[in-house]
Amino acid sequence: MAQIKTAGLSTVYPNGVRAVDALDLEIADGEFFALLGPSGCGKTTLLRTIAGLEQASEGTVTIGDKDMTATDPGRRKVAMVFQDYALFPHMTVAENIAYPLKVRRHPKPRQREVAERTAASLSLGGLLERRPGQLSGGQQQRVALARAVAVDADVLLLDEPLSNLDARLRLEARTFLKRLQKELGITTVFVTHDQAEALALADRIAVMESGRIRQLGTPREVFGRPADTFVANFIGSTPMNLLDGTVTDRGLAVAGAILPSPTDLPDNTMVTVGVRPEYLALEPGGQGITGTVSTVENLGVSSLVTLECPDGSLLGLTVREQHEPAIGSEVTAAPDPGRVLLYDKESGALLSS
């Protein structure tokens, strides 16, 4: 068990790309930590730098209390699950799980015993003699996890652990992974491009873009108060509404409507108004943004309704099933109190209110 600390960490590829850029990060002991971002944002490189598979160009990586920046991957006491699981196709499940012990030259019976015990705890009991090629995707993923936890590593690193599973299985594996992590209490860092996965699993999330962390916080913070428009756009299964607005003396002018201003910014400040579709409700005759219903998308228990506002901007809101307005009708949507966020028009940063 150990915490991970990076200080001024940069990883620069030979072609000059700064995949990780001067990163300061602290991951607490036992924490389930997500690195979230679009592809190419440097999240996998950061994970690989923590593992030691990429050489840090500047800065340090500390695991536990030891500076591991120049340490060989095999001596960092980290375990890693790769995106393709990297199970050895010529070894059986038991041999795969016991491989870390074989490397450390543990006696054969001990290898077997650990493989059996680990496999049993990950419900792989009857599969020990199979080869990875004979397993389903979910079983392969569990074998990879079993191999990672078979040795007592301080840190568990997961690179897109769920992305190779089909949608249904992914949900099961997600629950399984979260329970396993809580049971083991091992410091876990996982990389994902799927915001729903990060929100569901992580204790804390770091949202990354071009090698830097855009926001660091609990899933609730990141979802409820995105630090900038990039994060606001990225997080949430339905994208956040980001509309141009102006602060006036009567309130916040946005999409042809005036909302109560949540801020004391000077008048005539141009802002980007952010509000999640989930935090908007239909308010017949109330104070809100009025628009014509242009599309209704069924999301199961709710529907995503898109309004076309008088000034041409589009506003999405979710409505409970059976409460969808008719297409073409004119409705008014009001944001929940305290859920309207203002972003700087230039920098996209959240303006505190």
Partner 1 sequence: MTTTLVLRRIGYSAFFAVILAFFAIPMLWLASAPFDSRPGLGLRWPDWTLDNVAATFDHPYALTSLVNSLVLCGLAMVVTTVLAACAAYALSRVRIPGRDVLLYVLLLLSSVVTGTAAMVPIFVMMYQLGLINSQYGTALVIAGGMLPAAIFILKDFVDAVPRSYEESARVFGASPRQILLHVVLPIARPGIATIVVWSFVQAWGNFLLPFLLLRDITSQPAAVLMRTLYDEGGSANLTVIPVFSLLYSIPVVVLYLFVSRRYGFRFHGGIKS
Find the binder of partner 1 among 40, 73, 217, 239 (CB under 8 A). Answer: 73
Whose Cβ is closer to partner 1: residue 157's or residue 333's?
A: 157
Three-state DSSP class for residue 173: helix
Based on the shown chain and the rule CB under 8 A, indicate whether residue 115 belongs to the binding site for partner 1. no
Based on the shown chain and the rule CB under 8 A, indicate whether residue 103 belongs to the binding site for partner 1. yes
Segment near partner 1 (CB under 8 A); pick from 1-9, 85-93, 178-186, 237-245: 85-93
Beta bridge partner(s), residue 68: none
Measure CA 27 to chain center: 15
Based on the shown chain and the rule CB under 8 A, indicate whether residue 348 belongs to the binding site for partner 1. no
At its nearest, how many Å lie between partner 1 and the CB of residue 196?
21
Sheet holding 330-335, edge to edge: 280-282, 330-335, 289-298, 302-308, 314-320
**Strands (E) located in the chain:** 4-12, 18-27, 32-36, 58-63, 66-67, 78-81, 155-159, 187-192, 204-209, 212-217, 241-248, 251-254, 257-259, 270-275, 280-282, 289-298, 302-308, 314-320, 330-335, 341-344
End-to-end Cα spacing for the chain: 39
Based on the shown chain and the rule CB under 8 A, indicate whether residue 67 belongs to the binding site for partner 1. no
Contacts of 266 (CB under 8 A, 6+ apart): 247
Whose Cβ is closer to partner 1: residue 73's or residue 251's?
A: 73
Segment near partner 1 (CB under 8 A); pick from 21-29, 96-104, 316-324, 340-348: 96-104
- The contact mask relative to partner 1 for 157-186 (x = CB under 8 A, - = no) is -------x----------------------
Whose Cβ is closer to partner 1: residue 51's or residue 205's?
A: 51
CB 342 within 8 A of CB 270: no
Based on the shown chain and the rule CB under 8 A, indicate whether residue 137 belongs to the binding site for partner 1. yes
Whose Cβ is closer to partner 1: residue 102's or residue 320's?
A: 102
CB 99 within 8 A of CB 80: no
Give the binding-site size for partner 1 (rule: CB under 8 A): 30
At its nearest, how many Å lie between partner 1 and the CB of residue 336?
42
At its nearest, how many Å lie between partner 1 and the CB of residue 296?
37
Query: Dihedral through CA 1, CA 42, CA 150, CA 102, nearest 10?
Result: -120
- R_g over Cα of the chain: 24
Find the binder of partner 1 among 33, 99, 176, 343 (CB under 8 A). Answer: 99
What are the residues binding partner 1 (CB under 8 A)?
A: 51-53, 73-75, 78-80, 82-90, 99-100, 102-104, 132-133, 137, 140, 147, 151, 164
